[in-house]
Amino acid sequence: MTSTAYPPLEHLGWDTFFQARLPQPLPAEDTIVRVVSVHSMVMNVIGAQGRRQLAIPGNWLSGPAESRPTVGDWLVLDDTAQWPVQLLDRRTLVTRRAPTDITGVQLVAANLDTLFIVSSLNDDFNPSRLERYLAIAFQSGVEPVVVLTKADLVTPEHALACAEEARGLCPGLAVLVVNALDETTVNLLFPWVAPGRTATLVGSSGVGKSTLVNTLSREERTPTGAIRDSDGRGRHTTSSRTLYTLPNGGLIMDVPGFRELRLPPCPQGLSQVFRDIEELGIRCGFADCRHDGEPDCAVEKAVRQGTLTQRRVENYRKLLKEQAMQDDEKQQAKIYARQRRAADKVLGRPASNKRRRKR
Ligand SMILES: Nc1nc2c(ncn2[C@@H]2O[C@H](COP(=O)(O)OP(=O)(O)OP(=O)(O)O)[C@@H](O)[C@H]2O)c(=O)[nH]1
Ligand SMILES: [Mg+2]
Ligand SMILES: [Zn+2]
């Protein structure tokens, strides 16, 4: 790692990228902190002086989602080291589409180097879901690593077949097969969470994300929960995102299990995941071929020849359709906001703060 003016912060992921974004004159070391968890009005941060809790400035909370601090962010505090004054530019930002707000994105984590996409090898393994997570990783410039857990609960042949299928999703994709309770296999993750590197774990509930944090930490840092007998799913044991420092000097974030993963706008991410299909598409008879029954379709020809799976083509089409629908919803939301403003005017009603901000 290239040296910065704040060596104690380098253990928390600080490097020359963030150093170059600091205001001048350079702030004192104890006024630079990293966010480890965020609650509604307060956040926990870590810095050269250890951990503490800070209030989130009200004007940060009222801005768009991207202006709010999220786990992994770096902040500059005022001279008293009590009050955040600047959120430093992010190197990477992983987002997903907010489950409730039709136009908004939800911030998952900032300044990540690695996205561990965790899936268990028993019934959770689903290549189409992995492709969703891969699109998010590529869109945000974070290196994806697929971690297949519960190898001890399946046959070696099944584990090998799933790993091969996952590797086939993207050239060069790292795929690790582990028993999350067993140190010797979990050690495979360390190269991606080396000293100063920040990783996060995403995946469905119950796949073993918190178990991986505990095994990497060599101690119980975060609770894990038994799988439900009724349907074999997790119990949503982890309820908030938290960044942990590991004994090896890396940082890892535990994230609550996602019920569903709705993609934010991610055109580059999808192009990267489905590069093979997009390259074949250039050879289709029609420039706007949807690879869905059109004559002279190079993509469907590849499926017939067995070099591409029908599942992958269908997932590609489905994800593109979701992106297009999102554009429509955005358009509808804009129209709706305009209508509300027009109604405010007609009725002589002052626009609420929330609405005024959106203008
Ligand atoms: N046998 C075995 N059990 C595992 C493995 N990984 C996780 N488990 C068990 O699976 C259950 C769920 O693990 P958690 O680590 O709580 O799962 P999680 O992904 O953090 O789940 P949420 O916090 O709900 O999102 C626990 O009982 C773990 O002990 C594994 O590789 N092998
Ligand atoms: Mg958990
Ligand atoms: Zn085609």
What value does the mean pLDDT take over residues 297-307? 96
Is any atom of ligand 1 closer than 6 Å to the C-beta of 227?
yes
Residue 336, pLDDT above cutoff 60: no
Ligand nearest to the CA of 207: 1
List pLDDT tens digits, range 3-18.
788 888 999 999 999 9
Band of the pLDDT at 358, cuts 50, 70, 90? very low
* Residue 359 pLDDT exceeds 70: no
User: Rounded mean pLDDT of the chain?
Assistant: 89
The protein residue whose alpha carbon is closest to atom 1 in ligand 1 is 150
For ligand 2, the distance from its centroid to the CA atom of residue 15, given in whole angstroms, is 29
User: Which atom, in ligand 1's list, is nearest to the CA of 149?
Assistant: 31
What is the pLDDT at residue 353? 44
Q: Is the pLDDT of residue 355 over 50?
A: no
Looking at residues 205-219, what average pLDDT do you find? 96
Could you identify the atom of ligand 1 that is nearest to the CA of residue 224?
Answer: 16
What domains appear along the chain, each with residue ranges and CATH number?
Answer: 7-89 (2.40.50.140), 94-254 (3.40.50.300), 274-346 (1.10.40.50)
Task: Output the CA 110–ligand 3 centroid distance in Å.
Answer: 37
pLDDT tens digits, residue range 225-243? 887 766 667 788 898 999 9
pLDDT (0 to 100) of residue 112: 98
Q: What is the mean pLDDT of residues 100-109?
A: 80
Q: Which atom of ligand 1 is nearest to the CA of 150?
A: 31
pLDDT given for residue 352 in this prediction? 46
User: 149 with 179: CB under 8 angstroms?
Assistant: yes
Annotated binding site for Zn(2+): 284, 289, 291, 297
Is any ligand 1 atom within 6 A of the Cβ of residue 119? Answer: no
The residue-averaged pLDDT of 299-307 equals 96
Q: Whose Cα sits closest to atom 12 in ligand 1?
A: 206
pLDDT at 94: 96
Query: Annotated binding site: which residue ranges?
Result: 149-152, 203-211, 284, 289, 291, 297
Specify the higher pLDDT residue, 5 or 175.
Answer: 175
